[in-house]
Structure 1
Amino acid sequence: MNSSKNKILFAVNRTKPNADILVKRLSGAAKRENFECVIEGKFPPPEDAFKDAKCCCVIGGDGTILSCLSGAAKYGVPIFGINLGKLGFMATFTDSISDEEFLDMVNGKNAEMETRTILSASFGKNRFLALNEFAVKSQSPAEILSAEVLADGEFVADFVGDGLIFSTPTGTSAYNLSAGGPLIHPKARVFALTSICPHTLSNRSLVFDSETKLEIRAKNPNAVLIRDGNVEKSWRGEPLFVEAAPETVKFVRPAGHSHFYILRTKLGWGGNPRTQR
Protein backbone atom coordinates (compact mmCIF):
# COMPACT_ATOMS: atom_id res chain seq x y z
CA MET A 1 0.00 0.00 0.00
CA ASN A 2 1.38 3.42 -0.95
CA SER A 3 2.43 5.05 2.33
CA SER A 4 2.61 8.51 0.77
CA LYS A 5 -1.10 8.66 0.00
CA ASN A 6 -3.45 9.96 2.66
CA LYS A 7 -6.90 9.41 1.14
CA ILE A 8 -9.22 6.58 2.16
CA LEU A 9 -12.18 6.01 -0.12
CA PHE A 10 -15.27 4.42 1.48
CA ALA A 11 -17.64 2.57 -0.86
CA VAL A 12 -20.76 1.75 1.13
CA ASN A 13 -23.76 -0.42 0.33
CA ARG A 14 -26.32 1.45 2.42
CA THR A 15 -28.91 -1.29 2.00
CA LYS A 16 -26.91 -3.41 4.46
CA PRO A 17 -27.80 -3.17 8.16
CA ASN A 18 -25.35 -1.08 10.22
CA ALA A 19 -23.47 0.10 7.13
CA ASP A 20 -23.96 3.79 7.96
CA ILE A 21 -22.96 3.28 11.60
CA LEU A 22 -19.81 1.41 10.59
CA VAL A 23 -18.62 3.92 7.98
CA LYS A 24 -19.21 6.77 10.42
CA ARG A 25 -17.13 5.02 13.10
CA LEU A 26 -14.21 4.01 10.87
CA SER A 27 -14.03 7.29 8.94
CA GLY A 28 -14.14 9.18 12.22
CA ALA A 29 -11.20 7.16 13.55
CA ALA A 30 -9.27 7.72 10.32
CA LYS A 31 -9.90 11.48 10.40
CA ARG A 32 -8.52 11.64 13.92
CA GLU A 33 -5.31 10.19 12.47
CA ASN A 34 -5.30 12.93 9.80
CA PHE A 35 -6.51 10.78 6.92
CA GLU A 36 -8.61 12.38 4.22
CA CYS A 37 -11.82 10.35 4.11
CA VAL A 38 -14.13 10.34 1.10
CA ILE A 39 -17.47 8.58 1.52
CA GLU A 40 -18.68 7.99 -2.01
CA GLY A 41 -22.37 8.73 -2.36
CA LYS A 42 -22.81 7.13 -5.77
CA PHE A 43 -23.22 3.39 -6.20
CA PRO A 44 -21.42 1.90 -7.98
CA PRO A 45 -18.57 4.37 -7.33
CA PRO A 46 -17.31 6.24 -10.41
CA GLU A 47 -13.80 5.36 -11.55
CA ASP A 48 -12.37 8.80 -10.83
CA ALA A 49 -13.29 8.47 -7.14
CA PHE A 50 -10.39 6.02 -6.80
CA LYS A 51 -7.75 8.45 -8.03
CA ASP A 52 -5.00 9.10 -5.43
CA ALA A 53 -6.62 6.82 -2.84
CA LYS A 54 -4.44 4.84 -0.43
CA CYS A 55 -7.12 2.14 -0.25
CA CYS A 56 -10.83 1.64 -0.80
CA CYS A 57 -12.73 0.42 2.23
CA VAL A 58 -15.71 -1.49 0.84
CA ILE A 59 -18.55 -1.95 3.31
CA GLY A 60 -21.17 -4.40 2.11
CA GLY A 61 -20.36 -7.77 0.58
CA ASP A 62 -18.82 -9.43 -2.44
CA GLY A 63 -21.34 -7.75 -4.75
CA THR A 64 -20.25 -4.35 -3.48
CA ILE A 65 -16.62 -5.29 -4.14
CA LEU A 66 -17.48 -6.32 -7.70
CA SER A 67 -18.97 -2.88 -8.30
CA CYS A 68 -15.58 -1.32 -7.42
CA LEU A 69 -13.57 -3.36 -9.90
CA SER A 70 -13.10 -0.82 -12.70
CA GLY A 71 -11.84 2.03 -10.53
CA ALA A 72 -9.67 -0.16 -8.30
CA ALA A 73 -8.02 -1.82 -11.31
CA LYS A 74 -7.53 1.43 -13.23
CA TYR A 75 -5.82 3.27 -10.37
CA GLY A 76 -4.23 0.29 -8.60
CA VAL A 77 -6.10 0.93 -5.36
CA PRO A 78 -6.16 -1.96 -2.82
CA ILE A 79 -9.57 -3.08 -1.59
CA PHE A 80 -10.25 -3.42 2.14
CA GLY A 81 -13.42 -5.52 2.20
CA ILE A 82 -15.74 -5.56 5.22
CA ASN A 83 -18.48 -8.15 4.86
CA LEU A 84 -22.03 -7.25 5.87
CA GLY A 85 -23.48 -9.72 3.39
CA LYS A 86 -23.88 -13.50 3.44
CA LEU A 87 -20.97 -15.56 2.09
CA GLY A 88 -18.20 -12.98 1.82
CA PHE A 89 -15.50 -14.89 -0.08
CA MET A 90 -13.66 -11.68 -1.03
CA ALA A 91 -14.63 -9.43 1.88
CA THR A 92 -12.32 -10.72 4.61
CA PHE A 93 -13.20 -8.48 7.55
CA THR A 94 -16.41 -8.09 9.56
CA ASP A 95 -18.07 -5.20 11.38
CA SER A 96 -16.42 -6.39 14.59
CA ILE A 97 -13.12 -4.86 13.44
CA SER A 98 -11.86 -2.28 15.91
CA ASP A 99 -10.74 1.22 14.99
CA GLU A 100 -7.18 0.31 15.99
CA GLU A 101 -7.14 -2.85 13.85
CA PHE A 102 -8.51 -0.94 10.87
CA LEU A 103 -5.92 1.84 11.10
CA ASP A 104 -3.05 -0.59 11.67
CA MET A 105 -3.88 -2.57 8.55
CA VAL A 106 -4.46 0.54 6.45
CA ASN A 107 -0.94 1.56 7.52
CA GLY A 108 0.43 -1.88 6.59
CA LYS A 109 0.78 -3.32 10.10
CA ASN A 110 -0.29 -6.93 10.61
CA ALA A 111 -1.47 -6.96 7.01
CA GLU A 112 -0.47 -8.43 3.68
CA MET A 113 -1.37 -7.61 0.10
CA GLU A 114 -2.97 -10.21 -2.15
CA THR A 115 -3.06 -9.74 -5.92
CA ARG A 116 -5.88 -11.28 -7.95
CA THR A 117 -6.05 -11.96 -11.69
CA ILE A 118 -8.96 -10.43 -13.59
CA LEU A 119 -10.31 -11.13 -17.07
CA SER A 120 -10.80 -8.92 -20.08
CA ALA A 121 -13.51 -9.47 -22.70
CA SER A 122 -13.65 -7.45 -25.89
CA PHE A 123 -15.47 -7.25 -29.19
CA GLY A 124 -15.37 -4.41 -31.67
CA LYS A 125 -14.55 -1.26 -29.70
CA ASN A 126 -16.02 -2.61 -26.46
CA ARG A 127 -13.84 -3.84 -23.58
CA PHE A 128 -14.95 -5.07 -20.14
CA LEU A 129 -13.21 -6.33 -17.00
CA ALA A 130 -14.44 -9.07 -14.65
CA LEU A 131 -13.23 -10.13 -11.23
CA ASN A 132 -15.34 -13.30 -11.04
CA GLU A 133 -16.40 -14.32 -14.51
CA PHE A 134 -17.82 -13.60 -17.92
CA ALA A 135 -20.71 -15.70 -19.17
CA VAL A 136 -22.03 -15.99 -22.71
CA LYS A 137 -25.63 -17.01 -23.23
CA SER A 138 -28.46 -16.67 -25.69
CA GLN A 139 -30.59 -13.57 -25.11
CA SER A 140 -33.63 -15.82 -25.04
CA PRO A 141 -33.64 -18.00 -21.89
CA ALA A 142 -35.36 -20.81 -23.80
CA GLU A 143 -32.76 -20.94 -26.57
CA ILE A 144 -29.54 -22.94 -26.39
CA LEU A 145 -26.19 -21.36 -27.19
CA SER A 146 -24.00 -22.71 -29.96
CA ALA A 147 -20.47 -21.34 -30.07
CA GLU A 148 -17.08 -22.17 -31.55
CA VAL A 149 -14.04 -21.59 -29.30
CA LEU A 150 -10.46 -21.09 -30.43
CA ALA A 151 -7.35 -20.79 -28.22
CA ASP A 152 -4.59 -18.64 -29.71
CA GLY A 153 -6.12 -19.32 -33.11
CA GLU A 154 -6.33 -23.09 -32.67
CA PHE A 155 -9.77 -24.68 -32.82
CA VAL A 156 -10.81 -26.12 -29.43
CA ALA A 157 -14.38 -27.32 -29.92
CA ASP A 158 -17.95 -26.44 -30.76
CA PHE A 159 -19.94 -25.98 -27.55
CA VAL A 160 -23.71 -26.45 -27.44
CA GLY A 161 -25.64 -25.92 -24.23
CA ASP A 162 -27.05 -23.25 -21.94
CA GLY A 163 -23.93 -21.10 -22.17
CA LEU A 164 -20.25 -20.72 -21.38
CA ILE A 165 -18.51 -19.41 -18.25
CA PHE A 166 -15.02 -17.89 -18.36
CA SER A 167 -13.82 -17.70 -14.76
CA THR A 168 -10.90 -16.17 -12.92
CA PRO A 169 -9.39 -18.16 -10.04
CA THR A 170 -11.34 -15.83 -7.71
CA GLY A 171 -14.59 -16.63 -9.50
CA THR A 172 -14.18 -20.39 -9.51
CA SER A 173 -16.00 -20.55 -6.17
CA ALA A 174 -19.00 -18.70 -7.67
CA TYR A 175 -21.00 -19.44 -10.86
CA ASN A 176 -18.26 -21.73 -12.19
CA LEU A 177 -18.49 -23.99 -9.12
CA SER A 178 -22.28 -24.18 -9.39
CA ALA A 179 -21.89 -25.30 -13.01
CA GLY A 180 -19.54 -28.12 -12.01
CA GLY A 181 -16.27 -26.31 -12.72
CA PRO A 182 -13.03 -26.66 -10.73
CA LEU A 183 -11.84 -24.70 -7.74
CA ILE A 184 -8.58 -22.89 -8.54
CA HIS A 185 -6.24 -21.30 -6.02
CA PRO A 186 -6.33 -17.48 -6.38
CA LYS A 187 -2.54 -17.26 -6.84
CA ALA A 188 -2.64 -19.45 -9.96
CA ARG A 189 -2.14 -17.46 -13.17
CA VAL A 190 -4.81 -19.33 -15.11
CA PHE A 191 -8.49 -19.09 -15.99
CA ALA A 192 -11.22 -21.65 -16.61
CA LEU A 193 -13.79 -22.33 -19.31
CA THR A 194 -16.88 -24.23 -18.12
CA SER A 195 -19.82 -25.21 -20.29
CA ILE A 196 -23.27 -24.76 -18.70
CA CYS A 197 -25.44 -27.88 -19.09
CA PRO A 198 -23.59 -29.06 -22.22
CA HIS A 199 -25.46 -31.20 -24.72
CA THR A 200 -22.35 -33.35 -25.04
CA LEU A 201 -21.73 -34.92 -21.64
CA SER A 202 -18.00 -35.32 -22.34
CA ASN A 203 -17.61 -31.51 -22.43
CA ARG A 204 -15.74 -30.71 -19.23
CA SER A 205 -14.03 -27.61 -17.89
CA LEU A 206 -10.78 -26.49 -19.48
CA VAL A 207 -8.06 -24.51 -17.69
CA PHE A 208 -5.87 -22.13 -19.71
CA ASP A 209 -2.69 -20.33 -18.74
CA SER A 210 -2.73 -16.56 -18.42
CA GLU A 211 -1.04 -16.05 -21.82
CA THR A 212 -3.86 -17.72 -23.74
CA LYS A 213 -6.28 -15.63 -25.78
CA LEU A 214 -9.65 -17.23 -26.45
CA GLU A 215 -11.85 -16.35 -29.39
CA ILE A 216 -15.55 -17.15 -29.17
CA ARG A 217 -17.71 -17.19 -32.28
CA ALA A 218 -21.33 -17.42 -31.23
CA LYS A 219 -23.64 -18.82 -33.86
CA ASN A 220 -26.72 -17.32 -32.21
CA PRO A 221 -27.77 -13.97 -33.68
CA ASN A 222 -28.60 -12.63 -30.20
CA ALA A 223 -25.84 -13.82 -27.85
CA VAL A 224 -25.26 -11.69 -24.75
CA LEU A 225 -22.22 -11.04 -22.59
CA ILE A 226 -22.73 -11.20 -18.82
CA ARG A 227 -20.04 -9.67 -16.58
CA ASP A 228 -19.97 -10.61 -12.91
CA GLY A 229 -23.70 -11.33 -13.01
CA ASN A 230 -24.72 -8.21 -14.96
CA VAL A 231 -25.84 -8.27 -18.59
CA GLU A 232 -23.54 -5.91 -20.49
CA LYS A 233 -24.22 -6.15 -24.18
CA SER A 234 -25.37 -8.33 -27.05
CA TRP A 235 -23.37 -8.61 -30.21
CA ARG A 236 -23.93 -9.95 -33.69
CA GLY A 237 -21.40 -11.52 -36.02
CA GLU A 238 -18.28 -10.27 -34.22
CA PRO A 239 -15.85 -12.57 -32.43
CA LEU A 240 -15.55 -12.16 -28.67
CA PHE A 241 -12.03 -12.29 -27.19
CA VAL A 242 -11.44 -13.37 -23.58
CA GLU A 243 -8.03 -13.29 -21.88
CA ALA A 244 -6.29 -12.47 -18.60
CA ALA A 245 -6.18 -8.69 -18.31
CA PRO A 246 -2.91 -6.80 -17.79
CA GLU A 247 -4.64 -5.05 -14.88
CA THR A 248 -4.93 -6.77 -11.50
CA VAL A 249 -6.84 -6.11 -8.28
CA LYS A 250 -5.21 -6.03 -4.85
CA PHE A 251 -6.84 -6.93 -1.53
CA VAL A 252 -5.74 -6.03 1.98
CA ARG A 253 -5.67 -9.21 4.07
CA PRO A 254 -4.81 -9.85 7.72
CA ALA A 255 -1.39 -11.40 8.24
CA GLY A 256 -1.63 -15.19 8.03
CA HIS A 257 -4.77 -15.11 5.89
CA SER A 258 -5.65 -18.63 4.67
CA HIS A 259 -7.54 -19.28 1.44
CA PHE A 260 -8.23 -22.86 2.52
CA TYR A 261 -9.74 -21.69 5.80
CA ILE A 262 -12.16 -19.55 3.78
CA LEU A 263 -13.12 -22.55 1.63
CA ARG A 264 -13.60 -24.79 4.66
CA THR A 265 -15.83 -22.30 6.48
CA LYS A 266 -17.75 -20.75 3.59
CA LEU A 267 -18.38 -24.00 1.69
CA GLY A 268 -18.99 -26.04 4.81
CA TRP A 269 -16.16 -28.49 4.30
CA GLY A 270 -16.02 -30.81 7.27
CA GLY A 271 -13.42 -33.00 8.85
CA ASN A 272 -13.48 -36.76 8.86
CA PRO A 273 -17.15 -37.75 8.28
CA ARG A 274 -16.59 -40.92 10.34
CA THR A 275 -16.10 -38.84 13.45
CA GLN A 276 -19.12 -36.58 12.86
CA ARG A 277 -22.71 -37.15 13.94
Structure 2
Amino acid sequence: MKIAFSASQKPDAQTAMDALVAKYGNTAPQDADVLAPIGGDGFMLETLKTHMDLCKPVYGINRGTIGFLMNGLEPDNLLERINAAERAIIHPLEMRSTSTSGKQDTAMAINEVSLLREIHQTAHLSIYVNDKLRMEELICDGIMLATPAGSTAYNLSAHGPILPVGSQLLALTPISAFRPRRWRGALLPHDATVKIEAHQPEFRPVSAVADNYEVRRIRMVEIYERQDKEMTLLYDPEHSLEERIIREQFAY
Protein backbone atom coordinates (compact mmCIF):
# COMPACT_ATOMS: atom_id res chain seq x y z
CA MET A 1 0.00 0.00 0.00
CA LYS A 2 1.35 3.39 -1.02
CA ILE A 3 0.58 6.15 1.48
CA ALA A 4 0.99 9.90 1.01
CA PHE A 5 1.69 11.38 4.44
CA SER A 6 1.43 15.10 5.12
CA ALA A 7 1.40 17.02 8.39
CA SER A 8 0.43 20.36 9.85
CA GLN A 9 3.14 22.60 11.26
CA LYS A 10 2.41 21.61 14.85
CA PRO A 11 5.38 19.85 16.50
CA ASP A 12 3.28 16.81 17.48
CA ALA A 13 2.14 16.36 13.89
CA GLN A 14 5.66 16.73 12.50
CA THR A 15 7.04 14.20 15.00
CA ALA A 16 4.31 11.70 14.16
CA MET A 17 4.94 12.11 10.44
CA ASP A 18 8.67 11.48 10.84
CA ALA A 19 7.94 8.23 12.68
CA LEU A 20 5.33 7.04 10.19
CA VAL A 21 7.43 7.89 7.13
CA ALA A 22 10.38 6.02 8.64
CA LYS A 23 8.17 2.94 9.08
CA TYR A 24 6.00 3.01 5.95
CA GLY A 25 7.77 5.32 3.50
CA ASN A 26 6.11 8.23 1.72
CA THR A 27 4.57 8.57 -1.73
CA ALA A 28 3.54 11.58 -3.78
CA PRO A 29 -0.23 12.17 -3.52
CA GLN A 30 -0.87 11.53 -7.21
CA ASP A 31 0.81 8.10 -6.97
CA ALA A 32 -0.58 7.02 -3.59
CA ASP A 33 -3.37 4.58 -2.77
CA VAL A 34 -4.32 6.53 0.36
CA LEU A 35 -3.75 10.07 1.63
CA ALA A 36 -2.92 10.32 5.32
CA PRO A 37 -2.98 13.90 6.66
CA ILE A 38 -1.67 14.25 10.23
CA GLY A 39 -2.98 17.12 12.36
CA GLY A 40 -6.36 18.49 13.33
CA ASP A 41 -9.68 18.98 11.60
CA GLY A 42 -8.51 22.20 9.96
CA PHE A 43 -5.60 20.42 8.31
CA MET A 44 -7.94 17.62 7.23
CA LEU A 45 -10.22 20.15 5.50
CA GLU A 46 -7.22 21.76 3.82
CA THR A 47 -6.02 18.38 2.55
CA LEU A 48 -9.44 17.43 1.21
CA LYS A 49 -9.71 20.67 -0.74
CA THR A 50 -6.15 20.56 -2.07
CA HIS A 51 -6.43 17.00 -3.38
CA MET A 52 -10.15 16.86 -4.16
CA ASP A 53 -9.60 16.12 -7.85
CA LEU A 54 -7.35 13.13 -7.16
CA CYS A 55 -10.33 11.10 -5.86
CA LYS A 56 -8.11 9.25 -3.36
CA PRO A 57 -9.43 7.87 -0.06
CA VAL A 58 -8.29 9.88 2.95
CA TYR A 59 -7.35 8.42 6.35
CA GLY A 60 -6.79 11.30 8.76
CA ILE A 61 -4.57 10.87 11.83
CA ASN A 62 -5.28 13.10 14.80
CA ARG A 63 -2.51 15.26 16.21
CA GLY A 64 -4.72 18.32 16.73
CA THR A 65 -7.11 19.61 19.36
CA ILE A 66 -10.50 18.03 18.56
CA GLY A 67 -9.90 15.69 15.64
CA PHE A 68 -13.56 14.89 15.00
CA LEU A 69 -12.76 14.02 11.37
CA MET A 70 -9.61 12.08 12.26
CA ASN A 71 -8.51 8.66 13.52
CA GLY A 72 -6.29 8.01 16.50
CA LEU A 73 -2.53 7.59 16.15
CA GLU A 74 -1.51 3.92 16.40
CA PRO A 75 1.68 3.56 14.31
CA ASP A 76 2.27 -0.17 14.66
CA ASN A 77 -0.81 -1.45 12.79
CA LEU A 78 -1.59 1.37 10.38
CA LEU A 79 -1.89 -0.81 7.27
CA GLU A 80 -4.31 -3.22 8.95
CA ARG A 81 -6.44 -0.33 10.19
CA ILE A 82 -6.60 1.28 6.74
CA ASN A 83 -7.57 -2.05 5.13
CA ALA A 84 -10.35 -2.58 7.70
CA ALA A 85 -11.57 1.04 7.63
CA GLU A 86 -15.18 1.97 6.94
CA ARG A 87 -15.85 4.45 4.15
CA ALA A 88 -17.85 7.66 4.41
CA ILE A 89 -18.70 9.40 1.13
CA ILE A 90 -19.17 13.16 1.33
CA HIS A 91 -19.75 15.97 -1.15
CA PRO A 92 -18.56 19.57 -0.74
CA LEU A 93 -20.54 22.76 -1.03
CA GLU A 94 -19.62 25.37 -3.62
CA MET A 95 -20.01 29.02 -2.67
CA ARG A 96 -20.25 31.69 -5.34
CA SER A 97 -20.13 35.19 -3.94
CA THR A 98 -20.56 38.66 -5.39
CA SER A 99 -19.04 41.57 -3.46
CA THR A 100 -20.32 45.13 -3.19
CA SER A 101 -17.73 46.09 -5.83
CA GLY A 102 -19.06 43.46 -8.22
CA LYS A 103 -16.13 41.07 -7.80
CA GLN A 104 -17.11 37.40 -8.05
CA ASP A 105 -15.40 34.62 -6.12
CA THR A 106 -15.78 30.84 -5.82
CA ALA A 107 -14.76 28.56 -2.96
CA MET A 108 -15.41 25.03 -1.69
CA ALA A 109 -16.56 24.03 1.78
CA ILE A 110 -16.54 20.60 3.42
CA ASN A 111 -18.23 21.69 6.67
CA GLU A 112 -20.28 24.82 6.06
CA VAL A 113 -20.68 28.15 4.32
CA SER A 114 -21.45 30.92 6.78
CA LEU A 115 -22.40 34.58 6.44
CA LEU A 116 -21.37 36.81 9.32
CA ARG A 117 -21.85 40.48 10.17
CA GLU A 118 -18.54 42.36 10.04
CA ILE A 119 -19.30 45.22 12.46
CA HIS A 120 -21.69 46.08 15.29
CA GLN A 121 -24.60 46.46 12.85
CA THR A 122 -26.79 43.36 12.54
CA ALA A 123 -27.02 41.67 9.16
CA HIS A 124 -30.30 41.96 7.25
CA LEU A 125 -30.63 39.05 4.82
CA SER A 126 -33.09 37.64 2.28
CA ILE A 127 -33.15 33.87 1.74
CA TYR A 128 -34.04 32.12 -1.52
CA VAL A 129 -34.27 28.34 -1.98
CA ASN A 130 -34.32 27.11 -5.58
CA ASP A 131 -34.96 30.68 -6.74
CA LYS A 132 -38.06 31.04 -4.54
CA LEU A 133 -38.04 33.71 -1.83
CA ARG A 134 -38.48 31.93 1.50
CA MET A 135 -37.66 34.72 3.95
CA GLU A 136 -37.83 38.36 2.99
CA GLU A 137 -35.77 39.63 5.91
CA LEU A 138 -33.76 37.80 8.56
CA ILE A 139 -32.14 40.14 11.10
CA CYS A 140 -29.26 38.29 12.72
CA ASP A 141 -25.56 37.97 13.43
CA GLY A 142 -25.33 35.54 10.53
CA ILE A 143 -26.48 32.30 8.96
CA MET A 144 -24.86 29.09 7.72
CA LEU A 145 -25.54 26.17 5.42
CA ALA A 146 -23.93 23.00 6.83
CA THR A 147 -23.28 19.57 5.36
CA PRO A 148 -23.82 16.37 7.39
CA ALA A 149 -20.04 16.15 7.95
CA GLY A 150 -20.03 19.72 9.26
CA SER A 151 -23.28 19.55 11.19
CA THR A 152 -21.47 18.71 14.46
CA ALA A 153 -19.07 21.66 14.14
CA TYR A 154 -20.05 25.36 14.00
CA ASN A 155 -23.62 24.37 13.11
CA LEU A 156 -24.09 22.48 16.38
CA SER A 157 -22.63 25.36 18.38
CA ALA A 158 -25.31 27.58 16.82
CA HIS A 159 -27.97 25.06 17.95
CA GLY A 160 -28.44 23.61 14.49
CA PRO A 161 -29.47 19.96 13.94
CA ILE A 162 -27.02 17.07 13.69
CA LEU A 163 -27.37 15.30 10.33
CA PRO A 164 -26.50 11.62 9.71
CA VAL A 165 -23.90 11.20 6.95
CA GLY A 166 -26.30 9.48 4.55
CA SER A 167 -29.28 11.75 5.22
CA GLN A 168 -28.97 13.72 1.94
CA LEU A 169 -29.89 16.87 3.85
CA LEU A 170 -28.36 20.29 4.47
CA ALA A 171 -28.92 22.36 7.61
CA LEU A 172 -29.71 26.06 7.19
CA THR A 173 -29.05 27.53 10.63
CA PRO A 174 -29.33 31.15 11.80
CA ILE A 175 -26.75 32.67 14.14
CA SER A 176 -28.35 34.77 16.92
CA ALA A 177 -31.54 35.52 15.02
CA PHE A 178 -33.16 38.76 16.24
CA ARG A 179 -36.14 38.81 13.85
CA PRO A 180 -37.93 36.50 13.41
CA ARG A 181 -36.71 35.69 16.90
CA ARG A 182 -38.16 32.18 17.09
CA TRP A 183 -36.91 30.96 13.70
CA ARG A 184 -34.55 28.03 14.25
CA GLY A 185 -33.60 27.33 10.64
CA ALA A 186 -34.58 24.71 8.09
CA LEU A 187 -33.65 21.27 6.80
CA LEU A 188 -33.18 21.29 3.03
CA PRO A 189 -32.69 18.52 0.46
CA HIS A 190 -29.05 18.08 -0.47
CA ASP A 191 -29.64 19.22 -4.06
CA ALA A 192 -31.24 22.55 -3.09
CA THR A 193 -29.65 25.80 -4.23
CA VAL A 194 -29.60 28.51 -1.56
CA LYS A 195 -29.15 32.18 -2.41
CA ILE A 196 -28.70 34.78 0.31
CA GLU A 197 -28.76 38.51 -0.37
CA ALA A 198 -27.45 41.14 2.05
CA HIS A 199 -29.54 44.29 2.52
CA GLN A 200 -27.64 47.62 2.61
CA PRO A 201 -24.28 45.82 2.40
CA GLU A 202 -22.32 49.08 2.39
CA PHE A 203 -23.95 50.12 5.68
CA ARG A 204 -24.28 46.60 7.12
CA PRO A 205 -21.19 44.76 5.78
CA VAL A 206 -21.34 40.98 5.71
CA SER A 207 -18.58 38.43 5.09
CA ALA A 208 -18.98 34.96 3.58
CA VAL A 209 -16.80 32.08 4.80
CA ALA A 210 -16.40 28.69 3.12
CA ASP A 211 -14.80 26.69 5.96
CA ASN A 212 -11.68 28.83 6.42
CA TYR A 213 -11.81 30.90 3.20
CA GLU A 214 -13.30 34.34 3.75
CA VAL A 215 -14.67 36.94 1.36
CA ARG A 216 -15.62 40.31 2.86
CA ARG A 217 -18.19 42.93 1.91
CA ILE A 218 -20.45 40.57 -0.01
CA ARG A 219 -23.72 41.51 -1.66
CA MET A 220 -24.94 38.00 -2.49
CA VAL A 221 -23.90 34.36 -2.21
CA GLU A 222 -25.21 31.27 -3.95
CA ILE A 223 -24.52 27.87 -2.35
CA TYR A 224 -25.12 24.37 -3.65
CA GLU A 225 -23.74 20.86 -3.26
CA ARG A 226 -21.21 19.69 -5.84
CA GLN A 227 -22.62 16.25 -6.45
CA ASP A 228 -19.93 15.61 -9.08
CA LYS A 229 -17.22 15.98 -6.41
CA GLU A 230 -17.01 12.84 -4.27
CA MET A 231 -14.60 12.40 -1.37
CA THR A 232 -14.00 9.17 0.52
CA LEU A 233 -13.04 9.37 4.19
CA LEU A 234 -11.70 6.26 5.97
CA TYR A 235 -12.45 5.54 9.64
CA ASP A 236 -11.61 2.79 12.09
CA PRO A 237 -14.73 0.58 12.37
CA GLU A 238 -15.25 1.31 16.07
CA HIS A 239 -15.02 5.08 15.44
CA SER A 240 -16.71 5.58 12.07
CA LEU A 241 -17.94 9.04 11.11
CA GLU A 242 -21.55 7.82 11.24
CA GLU A 243 -21.02 6.44 14.75
CA ARG A 244 -19.41 9.71 15.91
CA ILE A 245 -22.33 11.75 14.60
CA ILE A 246 -24.85 9.50 16.35
CA ARG A 247 -22.81 9.57 19.58
CA GLU A 248 -22.64 13.37 19.49
CA GLN A 249 -26.44 13.53 19.70
CA PHE A 250 -26.37 11.80 23.08
CA ALA A 251 -23.52 13.85 24.55
CA TYR A 252 -24.34 15.90 27.64
For Structure 1 versus Structure 2, the TM-score category normalised by the shorter chain is 0.7 to 0.9
Q: Distance in 2 between matches of 1:159 and 1:37?
A: 49
**Does 2:97 correspond to 1:123?**
yes
Normalization by structure 2: what TM-score? 0.86
Aligned to 2:181: 201
Residues 133, 144 of structure 1: alpha-carbon distance in 2 compared, 3 angstrom cutoff: same
Conserved 8 A contact 1:151-1:213: yes
AA at the equivalent of 2:191: E
Conserved 8 A contact 1:263-1:269: no
1:14 Cα offset (Å): 2.9
**Does 2:60 correspond to 1:70?**
no
Structure 1 residue ranges without an equivalent (≥5) = 1-5, 39-49, 271-277
Structure 2 residue ranges without an equivalent (≥5) = 99-103
1:68 Cα offset (Å): 1.3
**Deviations 1:47-94 (Å, cap 9, x if unpaired)?**
xxx434322111111111011121232221222111122322100x22
Q: Distance in 1 between matches of 2:159 and 2:11?
A: 31
Normalization by structure 1: what TM-score? 0.78
Residues 66, 14 of structure 1: alpha-carbon distance in 2 compared, 3 angstrom cutoff: same
Aligned to 1:110: 84
Match of 1:151 among 125, 129, 135: 129
Q: Distance in 1 between matches of 2:195 and 2:61?
A: 36
Residues 16, 171 of structure 1: alpha-carbon distance in 2 compared, 3 angstrom cutoff: farther
Residues 266, 209 of structure 1: alpha-carbon distance in 2 compared, 3 angstrom cutoff: closer
Q: State, as a whole percentage, how many aligned pairs show the same letter.
A: 22
Residues 120, 149 of structure 1: alpha-carbon distance in 2 compared, 3 angstrom cutoff: same
Aligned to 1:249: 231
**Does 2:50 correspond to 1:56?**
no
AA at the equivalent of 2:226: A
Residues 75, 29 of structure 1: alpha-carbon distance in 2 compared, 3 angstrom cutoff: same
Q: Distance in 2 between matches of 1:264 and 1:152?
A: 30
Conserved 8 A contact 1:87-1:266: no
Aligned to 1:217: 197
Q: Distance in 2 between matches of 1:155 and 1:268?
A: 35
Which structure has more relative contact order (CA 8 Å, sep 6+)? It is 2
**Does 2:3 correspond to 1:8?**
yes
Residues 120, 260 of structure 1: alpha-carbon distance in 2 compared, 3 angstrom cutoff: closer
Q: Distance in 2 between matches of 1:176 and 1:105?
A: 30
Q: Distance in 2 between matches of 1:11 and 1:98?
A: 15
